[in-house]
Amino acid sequence: MSALLLEHLNPEQRAAVTLPRESALILAGAGSGKTRVLTTRIVWLIQSQQVSPHGILAVTFTNKAAKEMLTRISAMLPINTRGMWVGTFHGLANRLLRTHWREAGLPQTFQILDSADQLSAIKRLMKSLNVDTEKYEPKKVQWFINGHKEAGRRARDAEAFDEYSMRMAELFEAYDAQCQREGVADFPELLLRSYELLYRNEPLREHYRDRFKHILVDEFQDTNVLQYRWLKLFAGPQAALFAVGDDDQSIYAFRGADTANMAAFEREFAHGNVIKLEQNYRSHGHILTAANTLIAQNAHRLGKNLWTAEGEGEPIRVFVAYSDQEEASFVVDEAKTLNREGVAFSDMALLYRSNAQSRVLEHALFSAGVAYRVYGGLRFFERQEIKHALAYLRLMTNPEDDGAFLRVVNFPTRGIGARTLELLADTAARSGASLWQTACTSGGKVAGFAKLVEDIKQATADLPLHEVIDHVIEASGLADFYRADKDGADRLENLNELVNAAALFEEGDSGEEAEDKTLESFLAHAALEAGEHQAGAGHDALQLMTVHAAKGLEFHTVFITGLEESLFPHEQSAHEENGLEEERRLMYVAITRARRRLYLSHAQSRMLHGQVRYGLPSRFLDELPEQVLLHLNRKAESPVAAYSPSAPRAREASNDTGYRVGQSVAHAKFGTGIIIDFEGRGSDARVQVKFRDAGTKWLALAYAKLSAA
């Protein structure tokens, strides 16, 4: 059986699977068969009688991965896997606490709070303590608590250096006391409580160290500080830790993932015992050459080089679009052609860095009648923040819309409770009036809400459609609400994209045949696009997703869109330590999702806040080797005349300066950039240049010494 088990493994995989009882770091590249190595390692250990099934601790990051691992083990070994400790960090921590609830200081029937339950518990606590929720927002209190717990800290360990942080620490302590009284535990608590249990209870710790002689960890690059400390408590002097990961695919720093854990593990446990799985079974050679060359730009990596025995394959196709709409049309046309040639839509993925990018792509697919599915997320017009904005707009056109009224009467929160709304609904029902009519005559906060909507309607009466929507987003409080939300950046981008959608609708680029470009028509258009075009389960449909959501997946054909500076890499990366390196890892992940065909595209102009903006091509395109690229087109300048309000004076200025909007230029100090505006004439002329690394600057042409890039 052992020979058959190892028969189809390559030399490096076989070396990893048959390691003696020692700790090792398995540096597993994309598509190198890491799941196969992990499960085969477990089966080999059991089959060769080095350990019993109960002597193995295997940790994954998702329930799906844990289930797949157990299924594969069951298929290879005639054993009952139900008693095996194979699961996620939180799942195994819960199991430990259920077994030792008394030692952990928990009731036997303790309940787990999900994120929404936890936030409700925090709000209830703050209400009981009469805490000002304007100054101490419940969501921020939740982040404070969870951030400290995930770093292994209790309230007493939290840094408190001013009145605000001291109060936050007090709320943290009061929240923990409330959870203890009520016998509940949130998700971060599961891991922290189980860590504390093992740390302070030496007999229990030694029991598990004696039991688990082999500890295996999947996706080790995604571990945070507490998870690594938790693992180390299980690892006795005789334990063998088998950590599988890829530092080049570490893309979850925003969740607390720490790539330094891999270097620490190599130093503390593996002692240089590293096996690199570099043979890729997924992608053709040109795709891997691009991925290797790109990721080599990162300084902080352990280092490996993917290769394949499958041949070089097709070149990587690069497309430059004038606009984001042209980019979307190109993608749809290529996808339809490939489908006619026999590639299923479900084997194609359309990737983007930001959720907001999906709207233009979805519209192009909708207009072309191509079924699609948004993987790991909602379609644009189904997203919470979009539905909120549309509800305000619906009330402006039809105040009798009770559904829209109920959706936003207390969002963002304005102190209108459930009891108030029940009384309002009862009054409305008795009088046969709408909620809006009843609110207007009821006084109090509900009347204040009705006045807010009425004021917005009057203030926007003479504005263009996209400016109406922009005003609604700000005046309603939606923008401020999401600005204050730690996870609200994506939602703000989506709201901005709604403004862009309205601007395109006004221009007639939405596909609508009607001349009517009113708010009512736009709402009808939005309702149609939010309809039933997304494919159901089991139907052949193009896959749309963010690059983050694509990790772990693979497709025959991959389109990576929006490859522009400030979009991919994202503008936030410039303000974060090692942010650019993480963005490059994200691009590496995107590239390595493709098996056979890869498209890279960017647009020279893109809508932002209803106005056309010009962007530079992503630096990642420059970091790819030319020999693997096929440029489908090369566009030297942007379509200024078609879009830009400054086009007339740009053309006028270009007559006597030799420069034009959209032209790529170089500066000795600021590097390369693109001209986005002009001012003045002759020797007094100035240009506004958006530089790749130095931001946007106005430069006097008489002194700037610009040159064509």
| 3-state secondary structure labels for all residues of 496-542 | HHHHHHHHHHHHCCCCCCCCCCCHHHHHHHHHHHCCCCECCCCCCCE
- In angstroms, rounded to a whole number, what is the distance separating the alpha carbons of residues 248 and 584? 9
Q: Annotated catalytic residue: which of 12, 189, 218, 222? A: 218
Location of structure tokens 């390595």: 592
- In angstroms, rounded to a whole number, what is the distance separating the alpha carbons of residues 194 and 148? 16
- DSSP letter assigned to residue 377: S
Query: Which residues lie below 8 Å from residue 210, measured CB to CB, with a gap of 6+?
Result: 236
Q: Annotated catalytic residue: which of 39, 249, 546, 657? A: 249
User: Residue 190 CA to chain centroid, in angstroms?
Assistant: 24
- In angstroms, rounded to a whole number, what is the distance separating the alpha carbons of residues 543 and 35? 24
Q: At what angle do helices 358-368 and 489-507 cross, to 10 degrees?
A: 40
Q: Annotated catalytic residue: which of 18, 35, 420, 427? A: 35
Instruction: State the amino acid at position 380 in one-letter form.
Output: F
* 352, two tokens: 């983007």
Enumerate the β-bridge partners of residue 275.
26
- In angstroms, rounded to a whole number, what is the distance separating the alpha carbons of residues 442 and 396? 19
Q: Confirm whether 221 is a catalytic residue.
A: no
Q: Confirm whether 34 is a catalytic residue.
A: yes
Q: Annotated catalytic residue: which of 209, 593, 690, 692? A: 593
Q: Confirm whether 219 is a catalytic residue.
A: yes
Q: Confirm whether 490 is a catalytic residue.
A: no
The SS3 call for residue 106 is coil
- In angstroms, rounded to a whole number, what is the distance separating the alpha carbons of residues 661 and 638? 8
E strand or H helix at 242? strand 240-245
* 301, two tokens: 């990596």
- In angstroms, rounded to a whole number, what is the distance separating the alpha carbons of residues 203 and 509? 70
The SS3 call for residue 699 is strand
Query: Which residues lie below 8 Å from residue 673, measured CB to CB, with a gap of 6+?
Result: 616, 664, 665, 666, 667, 689, 690, 691, 692, 694, 709
Q: Confirm whether 507 is a catalytic residue.
A: no
Instruction: State the amino acid at position 482 in one-letter form.
Output: Y
Location of structure tokens 């009425």: 454
Location of structure tokens 């259920």: 98
If one counts every other C-beta atom within 10 angstroms of the C-beta of residue 385, the result is: 21
Question: How does strand 594-608 pair with strand 611-614?
Answer: antiparallel
- In angstroms, rounded to a whole number, what is the distance separating the alpha carbons of residues 620 and 564? 9
Q: What are phi and psi of 597, to 5 degrees?
A: -135, 135
The 10 Å CB-count burial string (b at 16+, else e) for 172-209 is: bebbbeebeeeebbbbbbbbbbbbbbbeeeeebbeebb
Q: Confirm whether 593 is a catalytic residue.
A: yes
- In angstroms, rounded to a whole number, what is the distance separating the alpha carbons of residues 39 and 45? 10
Give the residue from 247, 234, 254 showing the smallest Cα distance to 299. 247
Location of structure tokens 């740009």: 650
Going 213 to 218 to 224 to 227, the CA torsion angle's sign is negative
Q: Annotated catalytic residue: which of 12, 186, 189, 219? A: 219
Location of structure tokens 């936003």: 408
Q: Annotated catalytic residue: which of 12, 13, 34, 189? A: 34
Please list the active-site residues.
34-35, 218-219, 249, 593
